[in-house]
Amino acid sequence: MSDHLSQPLLALARALREHRIRAQDLVEEAIAKHERHGARLNAYSLWTPARARKAAEAADAAFAAGAVAGPLQGVPLSIKDLFAAEGLPTFAGSDRRLPPEWEVDGPVVASLRRQLAIIMGKTHMVEFAFGGTGQNCHWDAPRNPWDAATHRSPGGSSSGAGVSLGEGSALLALGSDTAGSVRIPASMTGNVGVKVTLGRWSALGVVPLSPTFDTPGLLARTVEDAGFGFAALDATLADPFRYLGRVGRLEIAGVRIGIGDPFLWEGCDPGIAEGAKAAIDALAAKGALVRTVGLPEARAAYDIFLEGGFSAIELRVFLDQELPQWLGELDPIMAQAVRGAEALSARDYLARLQRTRRLARIAAQRFADVDVIASPTLPVTPPPISQVREAEGHLSVNRRLVRNTVGVNYLGLCAITMPVARDGAGMPVGLQFIALPGNEERLIAVALAAEHVLGTAAERIGRPPLPA
């Protein structure tokens, strides 16, 4: 069977429009890849090949009639199991099906439907998106495809999203990001992850964790693929072909990159800071202007997270109001924090919120002389799942995992992670670019220029060692 799915998304979208390939061919390849690797990798909580075949037939029929519904027509993708979707149950990582209102398309999924994109299934996640390790006592964690010997964390909370890309059954993956839940799994699985500005994409129809910070997000194999998917889903752009043609002209020479606060670079596991710094040095050698720019607000935001942040109390409010019977069945790892959140006073909650808003105003000023601020996406090598199955180990690792990501959410910024190296354990290393709110187009342009210099993940770090 041909391996069309290894081609860039831009090329595949053009081939579909020009009738050089059928959506049905892509779906059959995706199904074959899942049949080959799915049982071992466990990316999907719900795998829907029959529905995907019917959707592919509809996409091909539209192409044959000369109708193009959107740039994602005929493209296989996966969605995280907290996106409500017509005809598909939603569990949000819990052990029971959510009520029917969580089976109605929200705006992001509705956009996929209008474009005749192909939903291959729903991917596993941490229960109610509360955590970054991927651990889930109800469903077990997907397996990180980069370690054939050890069951390592795939990241979370969008734990199956990056794995679906790694096994080859999806070209794009929808996730959500509240404290890093797109960027963490993207980094751990050697993919690209885009965290958009709060409110840029509607979170309606997405089971909430913390509405103060919840954002839908996107994972892809390359920056170019991510840029295509971003433009296809973003109401202000809509034409990925023109968008990529425009942003693809940016050269890395002259791009101003801040190396960030030392807080974002210190205390990394072996090979992580070194790999990220080597990538920055390669960009500098091609003319990028690297400047030292402090971002002390990232540390202050992380301190607020360590105090308890916002997710536990906001999830507790949602469960109390909408799903009270779920409280007694939560994963023990998260249950204590969620149940104990009721002790947080309104005064303390509002004080935390005011502090984050004040920090966000100050942080925005740090970008006056740079286009982006760079850092390692994560300071942590993906740990074996055995180390995070118990509450103590999970809490310790989770605190470290979000250190470089949560500040982006709390400070109201946008960010992208791209794979640039392998760490001391041979696992992927992500480089994070952070930009001002609303600057996604420039952010992706910078990352695409960096990818032109550094190469794609397959070119720079290889491919995950999937079994033959």
Is residue 45 annotated as part of the catalytic site, yes or no? no
Mean pLDDT on 349-362? 98
At residue 277, does pLDDT exceed 90?
yes
CB atoms within 10 A of CB 239: 13
Q: Would you state the pLDDT for residue 236?
A: 85
Provide the mean pLDDT of the chain.
96
Furthest-apart CA atoms within the chain: distance in Å: 61
By C-alpha distance, which of 164, 192, 189, 146 is closest to 467? Answer: 146
Mean pLDDT on 241-249? 86
Per-residue pLDDT of 81-91, as tens digits, reads: 999 999 999 99
Per-residue pLDDT of 215-234, as tens digits, reads: 999 999 999 999 999 999 99
Q: How far apart are CA 134 and CA 188, in angstroms?
A: 11
Q: How far apart are CA 106 and CA 82, in angstroms?
A: 11
Mean pLDDT on 174-199? 98
Q: What residue ranges in 378-454 does DSSP mark as E strands? A: 414-422, 428-435
AA identity, residue 206: V
CB atoms within 10 A of CB 317: 15
Token pair belonging to 10: 């831009």
Q: What are phi and psi of 460, to 5 degrees?
A: -95, -40
Q: Would you state the pLDDT for residue 260?
A: 75
Q: How far apart are CA 405 and CA 394, in angstroms?
A: 17
Partners of residue 374 on adjacent β-strands:
433
Mean pLDDT on 355-360? 98
Q: Would you state the pLDDT for residue 133?
A: 96
Chain centre distance of CA 41: 18
Q: How far apart are CA 379 and CA 454, in angstroms?
A: 21
CB atoms within 10 A of CB 270: 11
At residue 2, does pLDDT exceed 80?
no
Q: Would you state the pLDDT for residue 376?
A: 98
Partners of residue 419 on adjacent β-strands:
430
Q: Would you state the pLDDT for residue 235?
A: 85
Q: Would you state the pLDDT for residue 245?
A: 86
Is the whole model's pTM more than 0.95, yes or no? yes
Q: Would you state the pLDDT for residue 268?
A: 98
Query: 392 pLDDT band (50/70/90 cuts)?
Result: confident
Instruction: Convert 13-82 into a string of H (helix), E (strand) and C (coil).
Output: HHHHHCCCCCHHHHHHHHHHHHHHHHHHHCCEEEECHHHHHHHHHHHHHHHHCCCCCCCCCCCEEEEECC
Helix (H, G, I), strand (E, B), or coil: what is residue 219?
Answer: strand
Mean pLDDT on 277-295? 97
At residue 413, does pLDDT exceed 80?
yes
Mean pLDDT on 351-372? 98
Is residue 157 annotated as part of the catalytic site, yes or no? yes
Q: Would you state the pLDDT for residue 249?
A: 85
Q: What is the DSSP letter of 119?
A: E
Q: What residue ranges in 124-181 does DSSP mark as E strands? A: 172-177
Is residue 375 annotated as part of the catalytic site, yes or no? no
% the chain with pLDDT above 70: 99
Query: 103 pLDDT band (50/70/90 cuts)?
Result: very high
194 torsion bin: left (phi>0), alpha (psi -120 to 50), beta (else): beta
Q: Would you state the pLDDT for residue 261?
A: 86
Query: 237 pLDDT band (50/70/90 cuts)?
Result: confident
- Positive or negative, the CA dihedral 47, 53, 58, 62 is positive
Q: How far apart are CA 182 and CA 180, in angstroms?
A: 6
Helix (H, G, I), strand (E, B), or coil: what is residue 184?
Answer: helix
Partners of residue 176 on adjacent β-strands:
216
Q: Which of 181, 210, 311, 375 is catalytic?
A: 181
Token pair belonging to 135: 């651990």
Cα-Cα end-to-end distance for the chain = 14
Match 């751990």 to its residue by tokens. Answer: 188
Per-residue pLDDT of 38-70, as tens digits, reads: 999 999 999 999 999 999 999 999 999 999 999
The torsion defined by the Cα of 365, 366, 372 and 376, in degrees rounded to 10, comes to: -140
| Alpha-carbon distances, residue 128 vs 78, 94, 97, 109 (angstroms) | 18, 7, 12, 19
Q: How far apart are CA 333 and CA 338, in angstroms?
A: 10
By C-alpha distance, which of 74, 72, 36, 46 is closest to 58? Answer: 74
Token pair belonging to 301: 């935001």
Query: 387 pLDDT band (50/70/90 cuts)?
Result: very high
Q: Which of 33, 80, 122, 195 is catalytic?
A: 80
At residue 433, does pLDDT exceed 60?
yes
Query: 468 pLDDT band (50/70/90 cuts)?
Result: low
Query: 467 pLDDT band (50/70/90 cuts)?
Result: low
At residue 1, does pLDDT exceed 70?
no
CB 93 within 8 A of CB 129: yes
Regarding beta strands 192-195 and 414-422, do their DSSP bridges make them parallel or antiparallel, or are they unpaired? antiparallel
Query: 391 pLDDT band (50/70/90 cuts)?
Result: confident
Full set of structural domains in the chain with CATH:
8-460 (3.90.1300.10)
Which helix (DSSP H) or strand (DSSP E) does residue 145 occupy?
none
Query: 243 pLDDT band (50/70/90 cuts)?
Result: confident
Q: Which of 111, 157, 158, 187 is catalytic?
A: 157
Q: What is the DSSP letter of 429?
A: E
Chain centre distance of CA 111: 18
Q: Would you state the pLDDT for residue 248?
A: 81
Taking 3-state DSSP, the helix, strand and coil percentages for the chain, each rounded to the nearest 5, stand at 45, 15, 40
- Positive or negative, the CA dihedral 141, 146, 151, 156 is negative
Match 């752009």 to its residue by tokens. Answer: 237
Q: Would you state the pLDDT for residue 228?
A: 95
Of 93-97, 192-196, 214-218, 243-247, give the lowest mean pLDDT range: 243-247
Mean pLDDT on 300-312? 97
Mean pLDDT on 147-159? 97
Greater pLDDT, 241 or 107: 107
